[in-house]
């Protein structure tokens, strides 16, 4: 069997990790990998995560199975954090292996419901297209962001969505757009929601960076308004970044509807899809999140550490944009974008020059992780971009 297979290329972003590691230069800079880094270049474990792990270690008395849908208290607490508490919005969720697991489950559900198509913004997280295509969905695209002018293309996006058929799914980033950092304002969300509702489109909202852009509430405001205004939606949540739990594979997918029965029907399908795939989600990460969200002291410490990270990102952005000066036509936008990522107007050849000559690493798309910068490196790295 194996000799009928062809070798698959490594994911370019993951491959970059190995290339960076092998570079012996002491002043090398990694702007590639998509994890939060502190000023020491470390991807830290939240204090509240460590404290929750201690509590779990002391109190957990069994490793027996939980359930295909995961831990219900985790699901309820995470829904309150992300989805809010509007009484007219009914959600039924399943715990998933990370946000990627949630997106794949959503794709399988969309397929199972007979919808053949999902619309993705251009550009988007590169794994989106792969996940939906692997589930057998047809992938269509809508314009989202113009890289040279660093501007959102909202009118073009809404125009494209006029061509979507009722029942088509549309992927929307909740906040801190990956890879562009270009946020949707409350008004932008309202305009998109109006088109979705009028055309009978089903939003699949991807929330992977809550707390990194406009804060825990601000990053959820747009998605909450959207799910309250459409009859059906799907919400994929990743706890990888907001709780720093990357390798613990922690997330959830919620079916959201205006009636509880509809949400429960969708959830029963999600449970049966999960059962024939990975059977049950991993528990450790969700036990941590549940403990933090359910313990006031840990919640306070976690949210304040997250706020410190958000402020570090915002400060780095401001000083990086300032140091870049007028390097590109709208460099100033990079200073006010949100979350970890920006997509710079650089060519693949320029990316390779930075990598080979100066040890500054990023994928050839030009996406940078702002958290990979240290304040002490900003002037030098900005200078290198200006020298291209
Ligand atoms: C936009 C977006 N969605 C989902 C994910 C999936 O995250 P994970 O599967 O690690 O929880 C990521 C990870 O980088 C992302 O950037």
State in Å: Cα 242 to ligand 1 middle. Answer: 11
Task: Assess whether 60 and 39 both reside in one domain.
Answer: no
**Domain-located, residue 243:** yes
**Domain-located, residue 274:** yes
* Index of the ligand 1 atom closest to the CA of residue 125: 1
- What is the spatial distance between Cα 44 and Cα 245, in angstroms, rounded to a whole number? 10
State in Å: Cα 257 to ligand 1 middle. Answer: 24
197 in catalytic set = no
Q: Which of 123, 177, 178 to mutate to test the pocket of ligand 1 (most atoms within 8 A of CB)?
A: 178
241 in catalytic set = yes
**Domain-located, residue 184:** yes
Q: What is the CATH number of the domain that holds 151?
A: 3.40.640.10
State in Å: Cα 171 to ligand 1 middle. Answer: 13
- What is the spatial distance between Cα 123 and Cα 365, in angstroms, rounded to a whole number? 10
Task: Assess whether 12 and 59 both reside in one domain.
Answer: no
Residues with CB under 6 A from ligand 1: 34, 98-100, 125, 173, 178, 206, 208, 238, 240, 246, 251
| Helix (H) or strand (E) segment spanning residue 117 | strand 117-122
- What is the spatial distance between Cα 46 and Cα 303, in angstroms, rounded to a whole number? 10
Task: Assess whether 129 and 186 both reside in one domain.
Answer: yes
Predicted confidence at residue 13, as pLDDT, reads 83
Predicted confidence at residue 147, as pLDDT, reads 97
Task: Assess whether 203 and 291 both reside in one domain.
Answer: yes
Q: Which of 296, 318, 342 is the last residue of a domain?
A: 296
Predicted confidence at residue 379, as pLDDT, reads 97
If we measure between CA atoms, which residue out of 91, 352, 93, 349 comes closest to residue 232? 91
What sign does the dihedral 270-274-275-281 (CA atoms) show?
Answer: negative
**Domain-located, residue 284:** yes
Q: What is the CATH number of the domain that holds 376?
A: 3.90.1150.10
**Domain-located, residue 33:** yes
Instruction: Write down the residue that tokens 């910068």 correspond to.
Output: 373
208 in catalytic set = yes
User: Across the 388 residues of the chain, what is the mean pLDDT of every consecutive 10-residue run?
Assistant: 94 88 95 93 96 98 96 98 94 98 98 94 97 97 98 98 97 98 96 97 98 98 97 98 98 96 97 96 98 98 98 97 94 96 97 96 96 95 96
Task: Assess whether 41 and 160 both reside in one domain.
Answer: no
Q: Which two tokens stand for residue 289?
A: 């999140």
User: Which of 52, 106, 241, 257 is labelled catalytic?
Assistant: 241
Task: Assess whether 36 and 121 both reside in one domain.
Answer: no
| Beta-carbon contacts of residue 88 (< 8 Å; ≥ 6 apart) | 228, 258
119 in catalytic set = no
- What is the spatial distance between Cα 123 and Cα 132, in angstroms, rounded to a whole number? 15
| Beta-carbon contacts of residue 118 (< 8 Å; ≥ 6 apart) | 107, 110, 132, 137, 138, 139, 140, 168, 169, 170, 171, 204
Predicted confidence at residue 25, as pLDDT, reads 95
Q: How many domains does the structure of the chain reveal?
A: 2
Predicted confidence at residue 277, as pLDDT, reads 94
Task: Assess whether 129 and 257 both reside in one domain.
Answer: yes
Contact 269, 276 (CB under 8 A): no
Give nearest CA residue, ligand 1 atom 7.
Answer: 99
**Domain-located, residue 259:** yes
**Domain-located, residue 302:** no
Q: Which of 276, 296, 316 is the last residue of a domain?
A: 296
Task: Assess whether 39 and 95 both reside in one domain.
Answer: no
Q: Which of 296, 316, 347 is the last residue of a domain?
A: 296
State in Å: Cα 59 to ligand 1 middle. Answer: 31
* Index of the ligand 1 atom closest to the CA of residue 238: 11
State in Å: Cα 232 to ligand 1 middle. Answer: 22
- What is the spatial distance between Cα 138 and Cα 157, in angstroms, rounded to a whole number? 18
Q: Which domain holds residue 18?
A: 2-45+307-386
Q: Which of 13, 33, 99, 180 to mutate to test the pocket of ligand 1 (most atoms within 8 A of CB)?
A: 99
Task: Assess whether 216 and 330 both reside in one domain.
Answer: no
Task: Assess whether 290 and 323 both reside in one domain.
Answer: no
């Amino acid at each position: 069997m194996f000799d009928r297979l062809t070798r698959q290329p490594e994911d370019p972003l993951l491959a970059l990790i190995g290339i960076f590691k092998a570079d012996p230069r002491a002043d090398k800079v990694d702007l590639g990998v998509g994890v939060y880094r502190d000023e020491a270049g470390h991807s830290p474990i939240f204090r509240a995560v460590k404290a929750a792990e201690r509590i779990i270690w002391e109190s957990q008395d069994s490793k027996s199975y939980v359930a295909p849908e995961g831990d219900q208290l985790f699901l309820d607490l995470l829904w309150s954090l992300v989805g809010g508490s509007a009484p007219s919005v009914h959600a039924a969720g399943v715990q998933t292996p990370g946000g990627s697991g949630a997106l794949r489950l959503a794709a399988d559900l969309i397929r199972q419901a007979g919808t053949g198509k999902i619309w993705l913004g251009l550009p988007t997280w590169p794994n989106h297209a792969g996940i939906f295509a692997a589930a057998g969905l047809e992938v269509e695209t809508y314009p989202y962001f113009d890289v040279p002018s660093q501007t959102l293309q909202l009118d073009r996006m809404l125009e494209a969505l006029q061509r979507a058929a009722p029942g088509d799914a549309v992927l929307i980033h909740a906040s801190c757009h990956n890879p562009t950092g270009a946020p949707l304002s409350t008004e932008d969300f309202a305009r998109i929601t109006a088109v979705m509702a009028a055309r009978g489109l089903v939003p699949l909202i991807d929330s992977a960076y809550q707390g990194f852009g406009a804060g825990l509430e601000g990053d959820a405001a747009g998605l909450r308004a959207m799910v309250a205004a459409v009859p059906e939606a799907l919400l994929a949540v990743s706890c990888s970044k907001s709780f720093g739990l990357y390798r613990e594979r922690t997330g959830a997918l919620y079916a959201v509807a205006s009636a509880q029965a509809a949400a429960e029907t969708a959830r029963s399908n999600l449970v049966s899809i999960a059962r024939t795939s990975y059977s049950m989600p991993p528990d450790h990460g969700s036990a941590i999140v549940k403990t933090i969200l359910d313990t006031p002291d840990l919640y306070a410490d976690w949210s304040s550490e997250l706020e410190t990270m958000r402020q570090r990102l915002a400060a780095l952005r401001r000083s990086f944009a300032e140091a870049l000066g007028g390097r590109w036509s709208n460099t100033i936008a990079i200073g006010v974008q949100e979350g970890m990522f920006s997509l710079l107007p650089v060519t693949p050849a320029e990316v390779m020059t930075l990598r080979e000559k100066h040890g500054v690493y990023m994928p050839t798309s030009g996406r940078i992780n702002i958290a990979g910068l240290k304040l002490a490196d900003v002037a030098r790295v900005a200078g290198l971009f200006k020298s291209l």
